[in-house]
Amino acid sequence: MIERTEQTMVSTARKRIELIFNLSYLVSLWGLVVAMRRRRDRVPVEQRPEAERLREAFTLLAVGDTGHLALRSVSLARGEGRGFIRYRGQRASLIGLGEMATSITITLFYVLTLDAWRLRFRKSWDRFTGSLLGLSGLRLLLLAMPFNRWDRDETPPGWGVVRNLPLLSVGAGEMVMMRREADRAGDRTFRSLADAMAASFACYTPVILFARRIPQVGLLMIPKTVAYLYMAARVYFGMYRGTPQNTRSDQPAAAAVPVAAEV
């Protein structure tokens, strides 16, 4: 009896910590998104296309994560075996629906950041970047497959790896291109974005591969989440903190690509 009570207390404490962390993350992310929108006129005119694309990307990320974390919180609050809804006789898991939402929005997030990279460094769509778009489309197609079983709390064994392979490929290709061009141009904002992407995937990959067998690996989702918040903060402070007349750049004078002012 005492052991069961202790387990209940530990479970309750974990739920509270998770709720506090999730709320803090969402409030911070939405705060940065709203601040970006309010300060759009402070971005130098020649940098506004990529800044706008990144703002759209983080808005989409915030929407998807809000749906995911809100539904997960409701499911946890209801208790084990009650985290589902019924619609026209069909049962759907709240956690599964939340994971579906964030899986779609994170895919589109990387499409938008890829376009931001293209606009930033004046690139055209080529065979390689086109293949990354194709992989993103494949990822969305895989998410629509019934094998995902979004009506359940857990993804069927193996399918979680399959549907994430295209996303991992897109992320790897994008971060390599972004880091390479940022190093060439001396662009600190996009270099930080590339490094944070690498950190997020370094944390996410073990979760995909091993979390089912080693649940503790799931804790890597915390630094992964922090990496996305850092990306949003880096974009805000690197591109949206100037004045409406400020067109100063941290780009070396000889470089051809304009870069946002650093603070």
Name residue, tokens 């941290």: 250
**Helix and strand element counts for the chain (H, E):** 7, 2
Question: What pLDDT score does 159 carry?
Answer: 86
Q: Which residues pair with 92 in a beta bridge?
A: 85
The helix or strand, by DSSP H or E, that contains position 98, with its residue range, turns out to be helix 94-120
Termini Cα distance of the chain: 57
Question: What pLDDT score does 262 carry?
Answer: 37
**Among 179, 180, 187, residue whose Cα is nearest residue 255:** 187
Residues 35-72 have pLDDT tens digits of 999 999 999 999 999 999 999 999 999 999 999 888 88
Question: What pLDDT score does 247 carry?
Answer: 42
Name residue, tokens 């971060």: 175
Sign, CA dihedral 190-195-196-202, equals: positive
Name residues of the chain where pLDDT drops below 70.
1-12, 79-84, 86-91, 243-263
Return all residues near 53 (Cβ < 8 A) that are at least 6 apart.
112, 113, 115, 116, 119
Question: What pLDDT score does 252 carry?
Answer: 38
The helix or strand, by DSSP H or E, that contains position 85, with its residue range, turns out to be strand 84-87
* Residue 211, phi then psi, degrees to nearest 5: -65, -30
pTM, two decimal places: 0.84
CA distance 36 to 171: 24
**What SS3 state is found at 155?**
coil
Question: What pLDDT score does 28 carry?
Answer: 97
Q: Which domains are assigned to the chain?
A: 2-239 (1.20.1070)
Task: Show the tokens assigned to 74.
Answer: 């409701």
CA distance 25 to 37: 19
DSSP secondary structure letters along 158-201: THHHHHHHHHHHHHHHHHHHHHHHHHHHT-HHHHHHHHHHHHHH
Asked if 188 and 250 count as a contact pair (C-beta separation under 8 A), the reply is yes
